[in-house]
Amino acid sequence: MSVADLLAEHGSPLWLANIDVVRDRYRAFAAAWRAEWPDVDIAYSHKANRLPAILRALAEKGAGHQVACEAEYCLARTVAEADGRSIVVQGPAKPPALLDRAAADGALVIVDSLAELRRVATAGVTRVGVRVCLPGVGHGTSHFGVPMSEVQMAPRHAAGLGLRIEALAVHLVSAGFDRPMAEIGRLASALVVKWPQPPERFATAARMLAGLAGRMGVPVIDVGGGFPPAPQEGMYARAVAGAIGGAGFEGRVLVEPGRALVAEAVDLACTVTAIKRLPDRRRCIVLDAGTNLLPGTLFAWTEIEAAGSEEPPGEPAVVTGPLCTNVDVLHTAAPLPPLVEGDAVVVRGVGAYQQSQSTQFGDMRPAVVCRDDGHWRLCSRRETLEDLLASDLGVDVPQAVR
């Protein structure tokens, strides 16, 4: 089925989620890590994309779940039918209801401070890990993790609460700052996306974590996410395995891939709604989808193609979305062929941190079609006015606008 056909049937814009690609990416990722280390658990990081069809497909392949909030936790338990022990809870603010669920199900909870150990113990959590803020790895100071100066105290602290530290964790965040935070006037002016970080950086972090785990008697190291997709995953697994093996670590490795599994699996199909010349004579193409659906565009330009067109790229185009804001720009010079109003356009590889961070700033949210075993099917319908008003108390949607 062509993109134009899918748009005609399900409306525009439209998410195109290729579940076959998600399965492939998981298979390759898991095989690469298991070839390098004998004991590896993989917990998919829901925040990258929590589309139920993706969660179900990954769970069927054996993936665990890394969740950061109660909604993700509940999706893991219900949609993906996850055993609580395959869930890793990580995030800077864990509400009591999330900790209660983790305690009841035996999920692993990674704390970000020693004080949080008391909070999780009080909630009845029995499996705990500690996220470590490794010096010189990642992007400098952040609010994540326990500083190295404190982390050695964690086992004693935990023992006093009747807990044993099961895991040490790190996550090399992929978006950082290019100058110290204190010098930044506005965050966006200094944000950089450096993804993926080179394998040596992961190796350095893993080596430090393995050394600490050895000294603290911790059996699991959690190397977080930030990994690239196939075909590079093997190189990263090898670098990490070499580093931790060299540091004498013999325990379990937990990996939390997000974008590696989903980034390339989802595209956004949309429609050209206007073509115009800007005052500086540049070609401008206005689409019915913008940064409301693709907020990641604020950090990196998207890859945009004319759907089904064989024509070579013409004059570079400024591509904008439908929002009444000057930052609603998807590309400043997209290499697109000549286009007319109504043409279908596809924004490629937007499966990670786009759909999951998209907002209701703009029109109703699009439907999602999934490609499963080679066939496209509707897996989430377009939002309706009733959905928009579902949480509003006291408004009856007139029949006429349903």
Ligand X SMILES: Cc1ncc(COP(=O)(O)O)c(C=O)c1O
Chain residues in the site for ligand X (CB under 6 A)? 45, 47-48, 66, 90, 171, 174, 224-227, 256-260, 352
Q: How far is the CB of 132 from ligand X (least distance, A)?
A: 12
Q: What is the DSSP letter of 352?
A: T
Nearer to ligand X by Cβ, of 129 and 366: the residue is 129
Q: Quick one: tokens of 215? A: 């000294």
Nearer to ligand X by Cβ, of 167 and 345: the residue is 167
Q: Quick one: tokens of 67? A: 């969740």
Nearer to ligand X by Cβ, of 54 and 269: the residue is 54
- Report the distance separating Cα 224 and Cα 258, nearest Å: 9
- Report the distance separating Cα 151 and Cα 212, nearest Å: 9
Nearer to ligand X by Cβ, of 129 and 290: the residue is 129
Nearer to ligand X by Cβ, of 169 and 347: the residue is 169
- CA proximity to 316, closest of 300, 292, 332: 332
Q: How far is the CB of 162 from ligand X (least distance, A)?
A: 26
Nearer to ligand X by Cβ, of 28 and 388: the residue is 28
Nearer to ligand X by Cβ, of 45 and 291: the residue is 45
Question: Checking DSSP bridges between strand 303-306 and strand 344-348, what pairing results, if any?
Answer: antiparallel
Q: Degrees (nearest 5) of the Cα angle 224, 227, 231? A: 145
Q: How far is the CB of 352 from ligand X (least distance, A)?
A: 6
Nearer to ligand X by Cβ, of 70 and 305: the residue is 70
Q: How far is the CB of 1 from ligand X (least distance, A)?
A: 29
- CA proximity to 384, closest of 362, 371, 369, 401: 401
Q: How far is the CB of 241 from ligand X (least distance, A)?
A: 18
CB-count exposure of residue 165 (10 Å: 0-12, 13-18, 19+): buried
Nearer to ligand X by Cβ, of 146 and 317: the residue is 146
Contact between residue 121 and residue 156 where contact means Cβ atoms under 8 Å apart: no
Q: Taking the CB of residue 142, how many other CB atoms lie within 10 A of it?
A: 14
Q: How far is the CB of 249 from ligand X (least distance, A)?
A: 20
Q: How far is the CB of 254 from ligand X (least distance, A)?
A: 10
**Which amino acid is it at 345?**
V
Q: How far is the CB of 155 from ligand X (least distance, A)?
A: 22
* 19 CA to centre of own chain: 16
Q: How far is the CB of 227 from ligand X (least distance, A)?
A: 6
Q: What is the DSSP letter of 257?
A: -
SS3 annotation, 60-85: HCCCEEEECCHHHHHHHHHCCCCCHH
- Report the distance separating Cα 323 and Cα 355, nearest Å: 17
Contact between residue 193 and residue 299 where contact means Cβ atoms under 8 Å apart: yes
Cβ-based neighbours of 183, under 8 Å, separated by 6 or more: none
Q: Quick one: tokens of 344? A: 């279908």
Give the CA distances from residue 36 to residues 62, 64, 245, 258, in Å, rounded to whole numbers and listed in that order: 18, 19, 10, 20
**Across the strands, what pairs with 378?**
369
- CA proximity to 193, closest of 259, 266, 289, 262: 259
Cβ-based neighbours of 364, under 8 Å, separated by 6 or more: 382, 383, 384, 385, 387, 388
Q: How far is the CB of 376 from ligand X (least distance, A)?
A: 26
Nearer to ligand X by Cβ, of 10 and 47: the residue is 47
Q: How far is the CB of 135 from ligand X (least distance, A)?
A: 19
Nearer to ligand X by Cβ, of 225 and 349: the residue is 225
